[in-house]
């Protein structure tokens, strides 16, 4: 790996992705801030104001051509990608149990997109003798909510991809792990009402909501150069809710 490692964090203009980007920048990595709509400017400005290195790269990570262009642009601007954080997501409204179109939409984000991105960075990682791939998973794989079959199924598929790639890429020095957040109040959760928030909080032994920075800390651990002997693992950041 290069002296100044480069991280691409997908879906990182706000919320969890932005927290992850800011943490990796604080760790000394040059960070590629990605989103689909070109809203990465404020995150980049915050990283630079804190003394870090970052640049914005708008791209649709579900589009094969856009992914190839994204990876090439990051390499030209910051350097080859050493750390890939798969955080991009979309809307997750409830849907019919057997609605294939909805399932396919979710698989596009959580299975197709990681395959496209992973495929685009693997050759370079292998050539340099290693790399880090971190999936941002979800607690729903363990505790499926009602009406969310498409999201849960796609996240479960993503977890299978992570474990399969971890086994196959270990000889190349490339680790593949996952971080599974519980409910973290960020912008995309604004529509959740107080009653639902209260029910969730009552199920968390820690007695509070998680913070984006706590998820980012787990990603930072897996992304570290010292984590080279840890692969195929999943850390659940849920305040102990999975124990109940």
Looking at per-residue pLDDT, the higher value among 194 and 142 belongs to: 142
> Distance between CA 102 and CA 133 in Å, rounded?
27
Residue 25 lies in a domain: yes
Tell me, letter by letter, the H, E, C secondary structure of 24-88.
HHHCCCEEEEEECCCCCHHHHHHHHHCCCEEEEEECCCCCHHHHHHHHHHHHHHCCCCCEEEECC
Residue 75 lies in a domain: yes
Determine the pLDDT at residue 244: 85
Residue 238 lies in a domain: yes
User: 0.85 exceeded by the pTM?
Assistant: yes
> Distance between CA 122 and CA 117 in Å, rounded?
9
Per-residue pLDDT for 1 more than 50?
A: no
Looking at per-residue pLDDT, the higher value among 109 and 111 belongs to: 111
Residue 113 lies in a domain: yes
Determine the pLDDT at residue 91: 72
| Structural domains of the chain, count | 1
Band (2; pLDDT cuts 50, 70, 90): very low
Q: What is the pLDDT of residues 158-183, one digit of tens each?
A: 999 999 999 999 999 999 999 999 98
**Is residue 200 annotated as part of the catalytic site, yes or no?**
no
Residue 120 lies in a domain: yes
Determine the pLDDT at residue 195: 79
Mean pLDDT of 99-116: 91
Q: What are phi and psi of 195, to 5 degrees?
A: -65, -45
Determine the pLDDT at residue 199: 85
- Asked if 54 and 26 touch (Cβ cutoff 8 Å), the reply is no
Residue 56 lies in a domain: yes
Residue 73 lies in a domain: yes
List the catalytic residue out of 151, 165, 183, 222.
Answer: 151
Provide the CATH number for the domain around residue 27.
3.40.50.720
Could you tell me the residue range of the domain that residue 228 belongs to?
6-243
Residue 1 lies in a domain: no
């Amino acid at each position: 790996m290069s002296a100044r490692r480069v991280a691409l964090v997908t879906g990182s203009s706000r919320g969890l992705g932005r927290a992850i980007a800011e943490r990796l920048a604080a760790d000394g990595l040059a960070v590629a801030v990605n989103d689909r709509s070109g809203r990465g400017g404020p995150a980049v400005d915050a990283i630079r104001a804190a003394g870090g290195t970052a640049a914005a790269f708008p791209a649709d990570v579900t589009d094969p051509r856009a992914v190839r262009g994204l990876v090439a642009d990051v390499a030209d601007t910051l350097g080859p990608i050493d750390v890939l954080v798969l955080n991009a997501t979309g809307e997750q409204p409830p849907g019919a149990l057997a609605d294939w179109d909805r399932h396919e939409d979710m698989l596009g984000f959580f299975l197709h997109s990681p395959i496209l991105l992973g495929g685009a960075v693997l050759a370079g990682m292998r050539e340099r003798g290693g790399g880090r791939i971190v999936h941002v998973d979800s607690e729903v794989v363990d505790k499926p909510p009602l009406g969310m079959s498409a999201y849960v199924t796609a996240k479960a598929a993503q977890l299978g991809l992570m474990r399969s790639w971890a086994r196959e890429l270990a000889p190349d020095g490339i680790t593949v792990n996952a971080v599974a957040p519980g409910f973290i109040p960020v912008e995309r959760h604004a529509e959740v009402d107080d009653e639902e928030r209260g029910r969730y909080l009552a199920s968390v032994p820690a007695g509070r909501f998680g913070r984006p920075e706590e998820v980012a800390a787990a990603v930072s651990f897996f992304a570290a150069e010292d984590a080279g002997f840890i692969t195929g693992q999943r850390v659940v950041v849920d305040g102990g809710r999975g124990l109940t």
